Amino acid sequence: MILHSEQPNFERLADWLKESRYTMVLTGAGMSTESGVPDFRSKNGWWQNIDPRTVAAVAALQENYPLFHEFYSRRIKGLEQVKPHQGHYVLSDWQRRGLIQTLATQNVDGLHQHAGSLDVFELHGSIHSVRCHDCEAPAEKTDFLQGIPCRYCSGPLRPDVVLFGEMLPEDVWNAALAAVSRAELLLVIGTSLQVYPVNQLPALTLGRVAILNAEPTEMDSLFDLAIHGQAGNLLQAIDQVLSM
């Protein structure tokens, strides 16, 4: 077995995972890039070429629906062939083995569920379901993709994702707050922690906090352990230590 330079940190995190009676995992877009899904703020992320306020905000939906529609249609179509990577399967396996109790994600791509994770807290909603922005009636994803308005009130259709300026789904956010207040370990994976209020969760954790991320974040100093690298590789390396 090739000893990774971070081996001592893998062993430390593996011990914490075994010791913790309540572990919560929080993921961001960095958890999906190895499945081919762009993140937002890395060098080839979505927000490098697009100002999020022009496509991912309520004003964008109201003032420039064609641009809003094109952006989300492209993301929905881009996800059709996308599969979870090994890191997603490690997390669903850890949940099955009782090593993690709660999985909360900022991702809207459904890859954790696709890999078998259960009861996933989708803090920023899901791109796979669609509703009318005016009357809130659920609608077909195919209607959205074809630009068909709401069949009840002719209002604009939109994915069930949280747009900038919108509140997070209250029940999911409250469940995440309850989970973090119990967590003896919060493991954060693949997020720049730049978006409120999810980026408050590490500071709200009373137990240990660890982060796996490709690059340092502004909040790294908050963490008891920060390991930099690709989420899929790191999760498999930690899983190897757990299986020894």
> Catalytic site residues?
124
Stretch that binds ligand APR, among 9-17, 25-33, 90-98, 132-140 (CB under 6 A): 25-33
Cβ pair 121, 175 in contact under 8 A: yes
Euclidean distance between CA atoms 185 and 116, whole angstroms:
22
Euclidean distance between CA atoms 141 and 129, whole angstroms:
6
47: exposed, middle or buried (Cβ count in 10 Å: 0-12, 13-18, 19+):
middle
Identified binder of ligand APR from the candidate list 190, 208, 209, 210, rule CB under 6 A: 190
Which one, of 80, 84, 92, lies nearest residue 119 by Cα?
92
Which of Zn ion, ligand APR, none sits in contact with 150, Cβ below 5 to 8 A by type?
Answer: Zn ion
Identified binder of Zn ion from the candidate list 152, 165, 177, 216, rule CB under 5 A: 152
Which residue's CB atom is positioned nearest to ligand APR?
A: 30
Nearest distance from C-beta of residue 176 to ligand APR, angstroms: 13
Nearest distance from C-beta of residue 159 to Zn ion, angstroms: 15
Phi, then psi, of 214 in degrees rounded to 5: -65, -35
Residue 116 lies near Zn ion (rule: CB under 5 A): no
Nearest distance from C-beta of residue 124 to Zn ion, angstroms: 22
Residue 126 lies near ligand APR (rule: CB under 6 A): no
Residue 215 lies near ligand APR (rule: CB under 6 A): yes
Identified binder of ligand APR from the candidate list 12, 25, 28, 210, rule CB under 6 A: 28
Q: Residue 200 is encoded by which pair of tokens?
A: 């408050």
Q: Which residues pair with 185 in a beta bridge?
A: 23, 208
Phi, then psi, of 164 in degrees rounded to 5: -55, 135
Nearest distance from C-beta of residue 17 to ligand APR, angstroms: 18
Q: How many CB atoms lie within 10 A of CB 104?
A: 24
Q: Which residues pair with 26 in a beta bridge?
A: 104, 188
Nearest distance from C-beta of residue 152 to ligand APR, angstroms: 28
Residue 206 lies near Zn ion (rule: CB under 5 A): no
Q: Residue 120 is encoded by which pair of tokens?
A: 């996933």
Helices and strands, number each (H, E), in the chain: 10, 9
Residue 156 lies near Zn ion (rule: CB under 5 A): no
Question: Applying CB under 5 A, which residues contact Zn ion?
Answer: 132, 134-135, 137, 150, 152-153, 155
**Contact footprint for ligand APR (CB under 6 A):** 28-30, 33-34, 39-42, 45, 52, 106, 124, 190-192, 194-195, 213-215, 217, 230-231
